[in-house]
A and B are shown apart, each in its own frame.
Chain A
Amino acid sequence: MTASSLRLIWVYPDLLSTYGDQGNVLVVERRARQRGLAVERVDVRSDQPIPTTGDIYLIGGGEDRPQRLAAERLRRDGGLTKAAESGAIIFSVCAGYQILGREFINDLGEREAGLGLLDVISVRGTGARCVGDVLADVDDALGLPQLTGFENHQGVTQLGPGVRPFARVHFGNGNGTGDGTEGAWRDTVFGTYMHGPVMARNPQIADLLLRLHLDVPSLPPVDDRWYDALRAERIAAATQTV
């Protein structure tokens, strides 16, 4: 692929698209086209092989049983791991984030192996489900503005030494560990609990992925009026509800 094109892979929409996860795909696609990239979007159903030659892979959230099915099929397929080894950009949300980790607790209450692309381990929280607006500061190394998201999960994710927290929360729970961390990342692999979908509220994340893909420090600006208005509203809402 040349740098003026983008091969965007949406992993398993049949299993992992419960919380508007298509939104992240649409935002990346839209903002890539606005910058003149030719976008080839590939939606890969869970009975199809994952292409190993994608540029950006998005993987979303889902319920407990589909999450187990997705993990089984991704392990068997091996394509996402191959793509990661060759430096693909991968952005994952909620159940998808847990699957990229070393292991998580499946719907049967058993430990299920993930893909090990992120050094994290997830368990089921014992407290109330985390539902609501979140406000967080993204890791300085990523150079992104404040993160606003909506969380809706019961997972607790512990980070190992091989990853950094994606963000630190001011309001909300994030990884649910009580230490204020939210999500995890290393190199070009990212995980977050943030829905919303997260890129609708933080289009700068979509732009980060595009910059990584194009290997450029910045992108031409696009009209962010409505994104900015939504961000301001949700940031205010998060601070008011606590």
Chain B
Amino acid sequence: MSESTPLSARARLAVTAGKAAAAVSRAAGRGSGSVIGGRVALKFDPELLSRLAGHLDVVLISATNGKTTTTRLVAEALRAGGEVVSNALGANMPAGITSALSAGANARFAALEVDEKYLIAVAQDVNPKAIALLNLSRDQLDRAAETRMMAEHWREGLQGTKATVIANADDPLIVWAASSCPNVVWVAAGQAWKDDAWSCPSCGGVLQRPDDTTWRCAECGFGRPTPTWVLTGDSVLDPHGSTWPIHLQLPGRANKANATSAAAVAATFGIAPQVALQRMQSVAAVAGRYDVVQYEGRDIRLLLAKNPAGWLETFSLIDPPPAPVILGVNARGADGTDTSWLWDVDYTRLTGHPIAVIGDRRLDLAVRLEVAGQNFQVFDTAAEAIRNSPPGRIEAIANYTAFQDLRRVVGN
């Protein structure tokens, strides 16, 4: 892109202050320190984000689900063209993004996951070449804005953007958000969860879904655009009509969808789909997700699912019955404190699996499973739940802080 401009003294000072704060935070045992480092740096220089990104070809990736994984896949693909800087561990607000970018002095590309609420602000700062919008659905009911409001916020903020927007044609809310952009690449990436998109985002009419892929508002005509990238089973159809097989280590339909979007992103940066897809094959786990960990003679696959759409996709990728399943649910700050979303998850899909229930809110889950007629046991700790499961592979599905708890227990 542009030639790299040297950082001003103020910007350099801000980066240094941020690194110092990160070092202190790490020394104090407070994790990687990337967020605190970024926060300190931003305080020293509020325009740091745009300065740090100035010499980079940036792609922003946002969604309710799959943004961390897709960012990782995009980063792997872009490495075919040069050095990439990325917030690989999911620190996706301005402070975490600043911290990631401050390591990118020599990079050519930046692949950045952005929290939905900050997408527009970050896009204004970093002048991205591409923006990928994957999906929008209910998440954290106690504080999140209505999904349509988020789509509207994106729509207004992205109007007239110079970035190429890579958007999921199968999610009506994403189509609504992206359709004000002058340059959109539509991707048929699928969206198994439909319960946040029955109302037409444009006029409020009821969306008609005559088959698995089509959706259209009978009142105003707002409907699915024709995609140029299509996920078909295990392969990607590109805009030239060529089909490329997806070979991922990451499991499930949702990750094939993520790979399809990532291939479309990579293409806007000049990376051919066959090259991009081949590089994505190297990703085995993303921030602990999909990792298989040995513990007490079991192989525990760690699966993160934070909201109904995420649980739905996760159920579709686990081993068939009678594979044992451990379910963990918390309702701490980072999870959202309202557990009523459990009732939007179709737990009858687990019929035939022995289920062990753990987590702070295991009793909410117990009632949910009782009403779904499932066969389950409740345990006070993850270790107990694992010891009481048969040896072999266990599928462990947990929401955000329950997932972190589980990783600590099994030493991941």
A binds B: yes
Nearest-Cβ distance from residue A80 to partner chain B, whole angstroms: 17
Residues of chain A contacted by B340 (CB below 8 angstroms):
19-21, 23, 150, 195-197
CB-contacts of A202-242 with B (<8 A): 223, 226-227, 229-230, 233
How does the 8 Å CB contact mask read for B369-389 relative to A, with 1 for contact and 0 for none? 011110000000000000000
Give per-residue flags for A135-178: 1 if the beta carbon is below 8 A from chain B beta carbons, else 0.
Answer: 00000000000000010100000000000000000000000000
| Tally of A-B Cβ pairs under 8 angstroms | 90
CB-CB under 8 A from B83, the residues of chain A are none
- A190 to B256: give the CA distance in the assembly, Å: 46
Q: Does A35 contact B (CB under 8 A)?
A: no
Q: Find B363's partner among A46, A132, A226 (CB 8 Å cutoff).
A: A226
- The smallest beta-carbon distance between B139 and chain A, in angstroms, is 12
Q: Say yes or no: is A42 at the interface (Cβ < 8 Å to chain B).
A: no
CB distance from B194 to the nearest CB of A (A): 10
Q: Does B26 contact A (CB under 8 A)?
A: no
Inter-subunit contact B148/A200 (CB<8 Å) = no
Asked, given contacts A26-B372, A30-B371, A200-B364, whether A17 binds B141 with beta carbons under 8 Å apart, the answer is no
Count of chain A residues with a beta carbon within 8 Å of a chain B beta carbon: 36
Q: Decide if A102 is an interface residue (CB 8 Å cutoff).
A: no
Residues of A within 8 A of B143 (CB): 131
| Residue in contact with A15 in the complex, picked from B199, B366, B372, CB distance below 8 Å | B199
A15 in contact with B371 (CB, 8 Å)? no
Residues of A within 8 A of B198 (CB): 14-15, 45
Q: Nearest CB to that of B341 among chain A residues?
A: A20
Task: Chain A residues near B149: list those with CB within 8 A.
Answer: 63
A65 to B204, CA, bound (A): 8
Q: Is B206 an interface residue (CB 8 A)?
A: yes
Contact A131 B142 (CB under 8 A): yes
Q: How far is the CA of A79 from the CA of B341 in the complex (A)?
A: 29
Write 14 A-B pairs (CB below 8 A) sorted by A numbering.
Answer: A14-B198, A19-B341, A22-B344, A23-B343, A46-B206, A152-B142, A195-B338, A195-B340, A201-B367, A223-B370, A226-B367, A229-B363, A230-B363, A230-B364
B: residues with CB less than 8 A from A are: 138, 141-143, 146, 148-149, 195, 198-199, 204-206, 337-344, 363-364, 366-368, 370-373
